[in-house]
Amino acid sequence: MRLDSILSLLFPALFRIETKIDRLLASQSQLGNEMAQIDDDITALTGSVAAEQTVTASAVALLNGITTWIDAAVATALAAGATTAQLQAIADASAALKTQGAALSAAVSANTPAAGAATTPLLTPAVAPVATATASPASAVAPPPNRIP
């Protein structure tokens, strides 16, 4: 067989192999980008959860502060001559706030990791994104398929 014949058979096969490799690299790069987006989403979600816990803890402190202020005002009013019957509605409201604050505090405690406890990320990328190779014009025309033929 002549060299021309061998090369004419070899070049189309090499072009098909190169096209498949380009598609694989594009798919791998796309997967890497998707994994990076998932990692960013998880980081944002973790931050939102931490912020929510901080807001909830602040609400508990606020409720506790309000009830302390109400109780002090009731005590002052009683000392000034107000009757228990006159202040009963305010005392009941303070008791209700204490109950709600205790329930909120219990919920925060139940859903907050212990101090210094290590948290495990839900997902970690197994591989870093791979840079795409320069695609040949033939592979740039069609998008990468889901399955390599």
Q: For residue 63, tell me if it sits in a domain.
A: yes
Q: For residue 87, tell me if it sits in a domain.
A: yes
- Would you tell me how many other CB atoms lie within 10 Å of the CB of residue 138? 12
The answer to whether the predicted template modeling score (pTM) of the entire model surpasses 0.85 is no
pLDDT, tens digit (0-9, with 9 covering 90-100), for 66-83 = 888 899 999 999 999 999
For the chain, give the number of residues: 149
Q: For residue 129, tell me if it sits in a domain.
A: no
Q: For residue 40, tell me if it sits in a domain.
A: yes
- Per-residue confidence at 110, pLDDT binned at 50, 70, 90? confident
DSSP state of 81: T
pLDDT, tens digit (0-9, with 9 covering 90-100), for 11-66 = 888 999 999 999 999 999 999 899 999 999 888 888 887 887 788 878 888 888 88
- Of 118, 130, 120, nearest to 36 (Cα)? 130
- Per-residue confidence at 137, pLDDT binned at 50, 70, 90? very low
> Looking at per-residue confidence, does 88 or 6 come out higher?
88
Domain count, the chain: 1
Q: For residue 134, tell me if it sits in a domain.
A: no
Q: For residue 124, tell me if it sits in a domain.
A: no
Q: For residue 88, tell me if it sits in a domain.
A: yes
**Domain housing 80:** 3-104
Q: For residue 125, tell me if it sits in a domain.
A: no
* Host H or E run for residue 2: none
Q: What angle do CA 22, 27, 30 make, to 5 degrees?
A: 125
